[in-house]
Amino acid sequence: MSELRRSWVESANSAATPFPLNNLPYGVFSTGNTPPRCGVAIGDRILDLAGLEAAGALAFGGVFAEASWNRFMARGQADWARLRAALTAALAEGSDQRAALAPHLVPMDAAKLHLPFEVREYTDFYASRHHATNVGTMFRGANNALPPNWLHIPIGYNGRASSVVVSGTDVIRPHGQIKGPDDALPRFAPSARFDLELELGAIVGQPSSGPLSVAEGFAAIFGYVLLNDWSARDIQAWEYQPLGPFQGKATATTISPWIVTAAALAPFRVAAPPREVPLLPYLEEPGPMLYDIALEVGLTPEDGVETILARTNARELYYSAAQQLAHHASSGCPMRVGDLLGSGTISGAGPEARGSLLEMSWGGAEPITLADGQCRRFLEDGDTLTLRGAARGAGYQIGFGPCRGRVLPARAL
């Protein structure tokens, strides 16, 4: 495991910061009346890359003045590595570039963070065996929990790119068609079983027009974000057969504001769990492609205190983002710069590691008691959900920043 890289930005040397020199995640920010532009998080500061390039300290074709990282991603892996190497050297303790960079550091608490990239397409998968087993057990019984295809194929559905929002965006409780088990007919009403899903999102940084190997898929992934796939379980239950999720998953998908690069996470690669059945050759991994990233989800009621609902780890996934991408492209489906792949809910083996309220409350049958004594089966209006994640090294962590959203009441229709 690598050790902390020290920076002349003192706040980056704290074990508590999610943004040490080892990390250098990419985001889009604005200050005052200035337009959004590209920056990199370092400690409690944002390095203004657009300002640096305007001053002649960087040369990447003016891409950092834009309000997304898409044009930079499209430049390819060589430029990804060149920028990271330049920033690491310039921000390192003892660098002779301190005087040139210091004027371009912005206090993070004085900046507004925006969606860090333009989401071209969004696909959500179902890649955690514990989650799939829990949900399947609830609906089909323990003997038929996993669908027959689950151990052979990364299951997914195509979602709405337009639904993706940055952390801090409020989420309005959705309306939809709902039909309970005792209802003769469906009704149109606000969702009463609104839920979260604790996920990791992978960002495709290179286009493809045909099949990809898993290794090629791994190389094409620019970075990762935390992802909350808000889910209306009662709407989903009525609509999902036979074609899968639709409106129950279309309300919003919240992502964290910083793109943690694949390069920053490289020291934390881990192998997939043992395979119960062999995968077909096109899905076999040439090496470790999951990550040891500790994850947690907290719920804060309106005017209340936060309760940590669950803690789990991204290494619990059965399929990696590279496998998901390889499967997605296997039909010839073109993949584009800015495509977003959600992992699906990440759950661990125990009740304390379940990544959705559907699992935590076992379909609503087992209410959860919060720190202030309130109970939850599903989300209530005013609840704020916060996802957090970090890969932890020797005296440092590679964090994502919070992935947060508050539930607002359904609109009157």
The amino acid that residue 95 corresponds to is S
Mean confidence (pLDDT) of the chain:
97
Q: How far is CA 23 from CA 3, 26, 65, 248, in A?
A: 12, 9, 22, 35
Residues forming the active site: 131
Rg over alpha carbons for the chain, rounded to the nearest Å, is: 21
Q: Beta-carbon neighbour count of residue 390 at 10 Å? A: 18
Local structure of residue 388 (DSSP, 8 states): E
Asked whether the predicted pLDDT for residue 96 surpasses 60, the reply is yes
Of the chain, the end-to-end C-alpha distance in Å amounts to 55
User: Is-cis flag, bond preceding 242, omega within 30?
Assistant: yes
Mind giving me the DSSP string for 89-158? HHHBTT-TTHHHHGGGEEEGGG-EEE-SS----EEEE--BHHHHHHHHHHHH-GGG-S-TTTTTS--EEE
pLDDT in tens, 112-161: 999 999 999 999 999 999 999 999 999 899 999 999 999 999 999 999 99
Q: What is the pTM of this model?
A: 0.97
Q: Return the residue matching tokens 């920010």.
A: 29
Encoding tokens for residue 88?
Answer: 């690491």
pLDDT in tens, 321-371: 999 999 999 999 999 999 999 999 999 999 999 999 999 999 999 999 999
d(CA 348, CA 356): 11
Encoding tokens for residue 310?
Answer: 């669950």
- 3-state secondary structure at position 361: coil
d(CA 311, CA 254): 19
Beta-ladder partners of 375: 369
* Cα 384 versus chain centre, distance: 17
The amino acid that residue 231 corresponds to is S
pLDDT in tens, 284-330: 999 999 999 999 999 999 999 999 999 999 999 999 999 999 999 99
pLDDT in tens, 224-282: 999 999 999 999 999 998 999 999 999 999 999 999 999 999 999 999 999 989 999 99
Q: What is the pLDDT of residue 2?
A: 78
d(CA 342, CA 325): 11
d(CA 20, CA 32): 26
Q: What is the pLDDT of residue 185?
A: 97
- 3-state secondary structure at position 163: helix
Q: What is the pLDDT of residue 413?
A: 84
Pairing state of beta strands 164-166 and 253-255? parallel
- Phi, psi for residue 217 in degrees, rounded to 5: -65, -40
- Phi, psi for residue 250 in degrees, rounded to 5: -100, 0
Q: What is the pLDDT of residue 1?
A: 56
Mind giving me the DSSP string for 42-101? ETTEEEEHHHHHHTTS--STTGGGSSSSHHHHHT-HHHHHHHHHHHHHHHBTT-TTHHHH
